[in-house]
Amino acid sequence: MEYNYKKLSDLQTRINRLNHLKEVAFWDQATHMSEKGLNARSEAIAELSQIIHELECDPNNKKIIFDAENEDLSDTERANLVEIKRKFEITEVIPKELLKEKHLAASLCEHGWRKQRFNNDWKSFLENFKKVVTHSREEAKILSQKFKVSPYEALMDKYEPHLTEMFVDDLFGEIKSWLPNLLAKVVTKQANEPVIVTEGLFEIEKQKQLGLEAMEVLGFDFKAGRLDESIHPFCGGTPEDVRITTRYKNTEFLPALMGTIHETGHARYEQNLPSSLLDQPVGQARSMSIHESQSLFFEKHIGGHPRFIERIHPKILSNFGKQPATHLNNLKRLILKVKPSFIRVDADEITYPAHIILRYEIEKGLINGDVEAEDIPQLWDEKMEELLGISTKGEFCDGPMQDVHWPEGLFGYFPCYTLGALYAAQWKAMIQLEHSNFDDIVGKENLNLIFHWLDENIWKNASIKSTDKLTTDASHGSTLNVDHFKNHLETRYLSEF
Amino acid sequence: MEYNYKKLSDLQTRINRLNHLKEVAFWDQATHMSEKGLNARSEAIAELSQIIHELECDPNNKKIIFDAENEDLSDTERANLVEIKRKFEITEVIPKELLKEKHLAASLCEHGWRKQRFNNDWKSFLENFKKVVTHSREEAKILSQKFKVSPYEALMDKYEPHLTEMFVDDLFGEIKSWLPNLLAKVVTKQANEPVIVTEGLFEIEKQKQLGLEAMEVLGFDFKAGRLDESIHPFCGGTPEDVRITTRYKNTEFLPALMGTIHETGHARYEQNLPSSLLDQPVGQARSMSIHESQSLFFEKHIGGHPRFIERIHPKILSNFGKQPATHLNNLKRLILKVKPSFIRVDADEITYPAHIILRYEIEKGLINGDVEAEDIPQLWDEKMEELLGISTKGEFCDGPMQDVHWPEGLFGYFPCYTLGALYAAQWKAMIQLEHSNFDDIVGKENLNLIFHWLDENIWKNASIKSTDKLTTDASHGSTLNVDHFKNHLETRYLSEF
């Protein structure tokens, strides 16, 4: 291996090892940590983060990267170098002071938000939130000047490299053009299809058992990961030992099951990244959109597929017994039930993009300076009326205060959710070209036919290809096309299953 | 705060934060980690350990410590400085290369040992083990020259500062003088006291419930810690969030219960260290002997006390129902059952010291150069015959290969177990001077009377006092006296309860 490249790659290995410990600590914090352990945990993570930051920003890296660029590298090494350079440039340009202040403001805002949201107290929230916005704008401005993109693009770039507003505007504009109409049609259709809600207590232990059985069917490697509980479900840990979580309510079992299947999608991506590259940036998952495309593929195109419900129906019955609500047809209807509502995380597949488009439009304006924090509630109400036809006036808690992303200063992340849904629908369409019996596969055949496609086209590529290249290679030359998503929704929600 | 002292204390805070992450990773490894996560975990911990080691051994520390010694410090600060200096001197004097080789040899030996023990394969074990001994002797020699103590003392010092062979020889010599005789008496007495072994399945969930109930009675702070399962029970985590573990067999419930109570003793010590000093060496537990004195106090003087069994008997019945074995008197006899056997960790209170004395005598010789690794099996057999009257010839797996300590190169640790038992008996005797109704307190009164004594005399002192000072302050001027242990054993095992 060439001298300078090796130096960089060794450094990445070290950073990766330290990040491993951060991931364990984060997972533990969400799943097992005791109440009184929080302060020490926060301090410990901050201490390690600082060490990692110093390794990442070492001013010597600049020259080493420059020299490595002139070395004789393999394609994968060169792709790795691109990722290393990108990370270095993003990290190095932000002053340490700003990073610290931003982190402090976000901590304060997020901490206050927990209570303020409960009290529907927008005014107190706004006070802290404005500081978060100020620091994020400052960060966006610095990155924007460095990378010659808009401030908002500079923030999106952290989650989806090279994503542009024009690209997202186009895609989301198309969705907006047909979504309200599709929604109306589906709601009308479903008005004639009564569903029975699940009744009685669904033992948590049995729900967990069912979740594990579904993970097994979906190929989760239990020697390289596990399932636990947390308030906010997530996929964490490391590729060698992926930690997914879900949350249970004993009054219904579908949300935890579908949540588990969603996280299983994230997990299989992580578990199938190329093992020889796991300690390098190029061996990591491509981006948040692509990650979300995997979780949504598993949740919507496998787990929520009416034929998959057939497949695991015996397991559902053996765990919970027969009741009107667990009849097969009723379960299918329950899973596909569409209803405009306030809360993004509870939204169905059709209204979900509306929640994202709304947030995208607001936060884009906020970071680019066209929107001020105090304008958000009014914009929120207008857009909820426009997209979903529901009024959220005065409902700050279940309106602009509902997500943790803004109090934490995570601007630029939201679009990835819906991009993920679009990519997932496109993968589904592409797999169908190869396997016209896709529905049968999901219903009763060997799911490995599907997983094999995902492995070949997504998982094993890690970050070796850009998102664009990954997409066109997987799509016979096509870029991301909203039609696949539209077709999927129309097929699933307007025809009979 | 004085300038140089503050520098040292800030460094300790940083080191403590990084150690926090190591502890989380260790706990996770023992309780939750997936099979395929081991390599990455080991590498991550090694990486962080190296960073911590570099901070600890920074050559600048020497001068800062020297300057701090001339600063105007409070008593606690001065005690902290003593601990900092001690740690620095121990760490700094060992060449990094030796540390690495020692660690490698131990890893290799421990890894091989798992299978070799299973196969009773002493010969293959010996090959790896000899390298572990060589490196440990080398380390001991360096420390011995630096601190003017014997090589074995230099190793004991890591677990119990300033412990001398003469001190241990005296104590253990006394125990040897009466132990075989006492053992014979107890075995004869118990031959006339039939016990019924527990029967049937004891559901793990109910055992866990019982353990949690016992922890509650014993004052464990569930906002600052938790109970989990692991193959080898331990107390880990951090003082703010103490993680204890136990292991369950569904054929009997007493081992897990007593194990949980044992770890609760460790945990309460950790949970009650002075909160303002937790990030400094002076705020940490005094030593391994004192730590073990807390776990053994909880296990033997509270949990295993016949009156405590009375106290929690209703909880036992409500969890497992009535059966001949769960009759109160039978449970008391089960817990106090004495029987010489091969395995240290399964040994009763009377034979346990014999296992320790045997190991102490062998490893002392081994490190000081009077014994070679190949001599161990023969010495083991002789001492087992002498102390417990049982033959272990050819039983390498349940003989010198039974513990993980030697393959891991943890020489000097074993004596702490029995020192802990001696200290625990002494604390019990001291508490009885203040509370002559000790047995009643354990049986039905407010246990806080006992915990208060432990807090005042042990817990809140952390490492502010030396072990000697801690002992004499807690014992009206007396040093450690074996008679308390002897009295305890005679009272408990030779009289009627």
Q: A37 vs B222: CB contact, 8 Å cut-off?
A: no
* Separation CA B413–CA B288 (nearest Å): 8
In this structure, the answer to whether residues A118 and A222 fall within a common structural domain is no
pTM metric for this prediction: 0.94
Q: Is A44 on the interface with B (CB under 8 A)?
A: yes
In this structure, the answer to whether residues A397 and A302 fall within a common structural domain is yes
Q: B48 vs A223: CB contact, 8 Å cut-off?
A: no
Alpha carbon distances (Å) from B448 to A9, A75, B219: 57, 68, 8
Q: B48 vs A18: CB contact, 8 Å cut-off?
A: yes
For residue B268, give the nearest of B235, B230, B301 by alpha carbon. Answer: B235
Residue in chain B lying closest to A18 (CA): B44
**Residue A414 near residue A360 (C-beta atoms within 8 A):** yes
In chain A, pLDDT over 70 holds for what percent of residues?
A: 100
Last residue of a domain, one of A133, A158, A183: A158
Collapsing DSSP to helix, strand or coil, B26 comes out as helix
CA distance A4 to chain B (A): 21
**Residue B240 near residue B23 (C-beta atoms within 8 A):** no
Instruction: Render pLDDT for A376-389 as a digit per residue (tens, 0 to 9).
Output: 999 999 999 999 99
CA distance B25 to chain A (A): 7
In this structure, the answer to whether residues A323 and A344 fall within a common structural domain is yes
Per-residue pLDDT, averaged over B135-156, amounts to 98
CA distance A244 to chain B (A): 12
Predicted ipTM of the assembly: 0.94
For B211, other C-beta atoms within 10 Å of its C-beta total: 24
In this structure, the answer to whether residues B380 and B454 fall within a common structural domain is yes
In this structure, the answer to whether residues A149 and A175 fall within a common structural domain is no
Residue A237: strand pairing partners: A242
In chain B, residues with a C-beta closer than 8 Å to the C-beta of A37 are 224, 237-238, 240-241
CA distance A172 to chain B (A): 40
pLDDT at B442 over 80: yes
pLDDT at B61 over 90: yes
**Which residue is catalytic, options B263, B349, B363, B395?**
B263
AA identity, residue B325 = A
Last residue of a domain, one of B106, B140, B158: B158
In this structure, the answer to whether residues A245 and A187 fall within a common structural domain is yes
Secondary structure letter of residue B437 according to DSSP: T
In chain A, residues with a C-beta closer than 8 Å to the C-beta of B20 are 40-41, 43-44
Per-residue pLDDT, averaged over A74-83, amounts to 97
Q: Is A162 on the interface with B (CB under 8 A)?
A: no
Q: What is the CATH number of the domain that holds B349?
A: 1.10.1370.30
Residue B236: strand pairing partners: B243
Mean pLDDT (chain A, rounded): 96
Q: A240 vs B40: CB contact, 8 Å cut-off?
A: yes
In chain B, pLDDT over 90 holds for what percent of residues?
A: 95
In this structure, the answer to whether residues A121 and A242 fall within a common structural domain is no
3-state per-residue secondary structure call for B260-314:
HHHHHHHHHHHHCCCHHHCCCHHHCCCCHHHHHHHHHHHHHHHHCCHHHHHHHHH
pLDDT at B323 over 90: no
Residue A263: active-site member: yes
Residue A280 backbone dihedrals phi, psi, to 5 degrees: -120, 150
Instruction: Render pLDDT for B100-116 as a digit per residue (tens, 0 to 9).
Output: 999 999 999 999 999 99
For A433, other C-beta atoms within 10 Å of its C-beta total: 11
Secondary structure letter of residue A437 according to DSSP: T
In this structure, the answer to whether residues A119 and A258 fall within a common structural domain is no
pLDDT at B171 over 70: yes
- Nearest Cβ partner of B238 from A21, A37, A48? A37
Going edge to edge, which strands form the sheet with A241-246?
A225-229, A241-246, A235-238
* Strand pairing report for A235-238 and B225-229: unpaired
Last residue of a domain, one of A116, A133, A158: A158
- Nearest-10 Cα torsion for A470, A474, A477, A483: -100
Instruction: Give the total number of structural domains in chain B.
Output: 2
**Is the pLDDT higher at B455 or at A1?**
B455
Q: Return the pLDDT at B445.
A: 96
Q: Return the pLDDT at A207.
A: 97
In chain A, residues with a C-beta closer than 8 Å to the C-beta of B228 are 32
Q: A17 vs B48: CB contact, 8 Å cut-off?
A: yes
Residue located via tokens 């044992």: B262
In this structure, the answer to whether residues A203 and A264 fall within a common structural domain is yes
Collapsing DSSP to helix, strand or coil, B226 comes out as strand
Q: Helices in B70-150 by DSSP H: which ranges?
A: 75-93, 96-118, 122-147
**Residue A420 near residue A296 (C-beta atoms within 8 A):** yes
pLDDT at B348 over 80: yes
In this structure, the answer to whether residues A189 and A94 fall within a common structural domain is no
**Which residue is catalytic, options A77, A160, A263, A292?**
A263
Q: Return the pLDDT at A497.
A: 58
Residue in chain A lying closest to B36 (CA): A224
In this structure, the answer to whether residues A59 and A138 fall within a common structural domain is yes
Per-residue pLDDT, averaged over A328-342, amounts to 95
Alpha carbon distances (Å) from A358 to A140, A436, B256: 20, 36, 55
* Separation CA A423–CA A439 (nearest Å): 19
* Strand pairing report for A241-246 and A235-238: antiparallel
Residue located via tokens 């809140």: B460
Collapsing DSSP to helix, strand or coil, A249 comes out as strand
* Separation CA A384–CA A392 (nearest Å): 7
Residues contacting residue A444 through CB under 8 Å, at least 6 positions apart:
A307, A310, A311
Per-residue pLDDT, averaged over B89-95, amounts to 94
Q: Is A226 on the interface with B (CB under 8 A)?
A: yes
Instruction: Render pLDDT for B175-189 as a digit per residue (tens, 0 to 9).
Output: 999 999 999 999 999
First-residue to last-residue Cα distance in chain A:
56
**Residue A185 near residue A171 (C-beta atoms within 8 A):** no
In chain A, pLDDT over 90 holds for what percent of residues?
A: 95
Instruction: Supply the range of the domain harboring residue A136.
Output: 4-158
**Residue A340 near residue A390 (C-beta atoms within 8 A):** yes
In chain B, residues with a C-beta closer than 8 Å to the C-beta of A53 are none
Residue B497 — pLDDT band, cuts 50, 70, 90?
low
Q: Is B371 on the interface with A (CB under 8 A)?
A: no
For residue A160, give the nearest of A429, A426, A417 by alpha carbon. Answer: A417
Instruction: Render pLDDT for B412-431 as a digit per residue (tens, 0 to 9).
Output: 999 999 999 999 999 999 99
In this structure, the answer to whether residues A59 and A187 fall within a common structural domain is no
Instruction: Render pLDDT for A266-325 as a digit per residue (tens, 0 to 9).
Output: 999 999 999 999 999 999 999 999 999 999 999 999 999 999 999 999 999 999 989 888
Q: B18 vs A44: CB contact, 8 Å cut-off?
A: yes
Q: Return the pLDDT at A1.
A: 72
Q: Return the pLDDT at B495.
A: 87
- Nearest Cβ partner of B47 from A18, A43, A240? A18
In chain A, residues with a C-beta closer than 8 Å to the C-beta of B21 are 21-22, 24-25, 44-45, 48
Residue B324 — pLDDT band, cuts 50, 70, 90?
confident
CA distance A248 to chain B (A): 19
